[in-house]
Chains A and B, each alone.
Chain A
Amino acid sequence: MLDVTIHITDRDGATHEVQAPTDMAMNLMEVVKGFELAPEGTIGICGGMAMCASCQCYVESDHQLPEQTEDELAMLADALFVKSNSRLGCQIVISKELEGLAVTLAPEE
């Protein structure tokens, strides 16, 4: 088992350093949910289908992330609070390349 360290700033501005497993096909939304860094019902509402923007986050570090799918791009075109570094957490699968990733959760819509 291999964990990576991820820095997640929650919606209240507090930064958490969490160890996320790379061998469970987990995505960033599930990590946030798992560590309860956002209240249940305010994140991952659609279950990870890129069909809501409740897991939107801003990528603050310079990591090479999985490419955005057409679904993610379309969702972010409709979402609120979108910035140039916005991503949907559910579309970012945790891998060893993400060691040291820093993200900030976008406000609740």
Chain B
Amino acid sequence: MIQTDILIIGAGPTGLFAVFEAGLLKLRCHLIDALVQPGGQCTEIYPKKPIYDIPGFPEILAGDLVDNLMEQCKQFEPGFTLGERAETIEKQADGSFVVTTNKGTVHRAKVIAIAGGLGSFEPRKPLIDRIGFFESKGVSYAIKDPEFYRNKNVVIAGGGDSALDWSIFLATIASKVTLIHRRNEFRGALDSVEKVQRLKKDGLINLITPAEVVELEGSDRLEAVLVKQEANEPLRLIADAFIPLFGLTPKLGPIADWGLEIEKNAIKVNNTLDYQTNIPGVFAIGDVNTYPGKMKLILCGFHEATLMCQSAYKIIHPNKKSIFKYTTVSGVDGFDGTRKEAPKSVVKSID
């Protein structure tokens, strides 16, 4: 079991900055995120896009902002449970909470800060008849173990980096890889597009565009897919596996069932004092919350994280008073033993 002071759900900019603010109060944090890397939307959706409204940064790429936030909070040694989705929450007799992920990782903390943004990113599932039936019977939305596809007939659909990269990777493992995309153009790293081009020439990837998988066949498990082509007759392809890779779409997910007040697909917080939810000890900060006047901006998330930490301190140390300090005056003492401080001014007399 992972124990911490503040358990933060969501490792986007708001969650990462909460680690820093909590650290100043000597509170430890652990973060859970469904994505495999920290940064939330900033790294998953638009790492190379500039942001112009981060105070003090006239222009910063979303990916660089996340790198900076990681650097800023690293001395407070945050823990991470990545690639797992927070699934359940249980209140304990001592007032603390136990949060368990979809993979069974158990976390315990006195304070929960939900910094979940738009929710957890889930694969976009195409609208094909009986696709649900074939899930884990040949259809999957992500590749966990490439070896699983050895000597199999694999059909991949999609036109982004993951469709390209997996087609390339599986070309040498599977007995046959077919890549199907609705357009002739692919959106991916130039290098990947060129590799697929080469593999197609060498007969290692069967490329069908513009086309779409419209039907799945099989009695107990997937046996074939039906491909609709714009120019040609529909095509029936023998398939042991069909992997649609159509990107991710955010869903509030299991958090919606935690007994929190939900309004406008966001978690309602009682006030702008500390962003506590209807469950005392559970806070919602950043894009995931709503209150009168709410603005979904990263800079607002930073502010909310800061105020949340003040109330978290009072819950975790009910008998202590937190003293507000400026980092310029008192420096930053990391849990890793490092210290940052303003250089002392030199006093020297001039003869």
Chain A interfacial positions (CB closer than 8 Å to B): 39-42, 45-47, 49, 51-52, 70, 73-74, 77-82, 109
Within the complex, the shortest CB–CB distance from B316 to chain A, in Å, comes to 31
Q: Which residue of B lies closest to A49 (CB)?
A: B46
Chain B interfacial positions (CB closer than 8 Å to A): 41, 45-46, 49, 118, 124, 126-127, 158-160, 181-183, 185, 187, 246-247, 249-250, 264-266, 290, 296
Docked pose: A73 CA to B160 CA in angstroms: 12
Q: Which residue of B lies closest to A40 (CB)?
A: B264
Contact A78 B127 (CB under 8 A): no
Docked pose: A75 CA to B181 CA in angstroms: 12
Among B118, B127, B160, B185, which residue has its beta carbon within 8 angstroms of that of A80? B127
- Contact A40:B265 (CB < 8 A) given known A51-B46, A70-B187: yes
Q: A74-B185, A79-B124, A80-B126 are in contact. List 6 more A-B contacts (CB 8 A).
A: A42-B265, A46-B41, A49-B45, A49-B49, A52-B250, A78-B160
Contact A74 B249 (CB under 8 A): no
Contact B247 A45 (CB under 8 A): no
Q: Is the interface of A mostly helix, strand, loop or mixed?
A: loop
**CB-defined A-B contacts under 8 Å, sample of 18:** A40-B290, A41-B264, A42-B265, A46-B41, A51-B46, A52-B249, A52-B250, A70-B187, A73-B185, A77-B159, A77-B181, A77-B183, A78-B159, A78-B246, A78-B247, A79-B246, A81-B127, A109-B124
Chain B residues with CB under 8 Å of A78's CB are: 124, 158-160, 246-247
Docked pose: A53 CA to B249 CA in angstroms: 9
Within the complex, the shortest CB–CB distance from A95 to chain B, in Å, comes to 24
Among A47, A70, A77, which residue has its beta carbon within 8 angstroms of that of B182? A77
Docked pose: A85 CA to B297 CA in angstroms: 32
Contact B124 A80 (CB under 8 A): yes
Chain A residues with CB under 8 Å of B250's CB are: 45, 52
Q: Which residue of B lies closest to A45 (CB)?
A: B118
What 10 pairs between A and B have smallest CB-CB spacing?
Answer: A41-B265, A40-B264, A74-B187, A78-B246, A77-B182, A78-B247, A77-B183, A51-B45, A41-B264, A77-B159
Docked pose: A78 CA to B248 CA in angstroms: 10
Docked pose: A80 CA to B122 CA in angstroms: 14
Q: Which residue of B lies closest to A107 (CB)?
A: B127
Docked pose: A45 CA to B118 CA in angstroms: 8
Among A39, A41, A70, A109, which residue has its beta carbon within 8 angstroms of that of B185? A70
Within the complex, the shortest CB–CB distance from A77 to chain B, in Å, comes to 4
Within the complex, the shortest CB–CB distance from A16 to chain B, in Å, comes to 19
Q: Which residue of A lies closest to B157 (CB)?
A: A78
Within the complex, the shortest CB–CB distance from A28 to chain B, in Å, comes to 19
Chain A residues with CB under 8 Å of B249's CB are: 52, 109
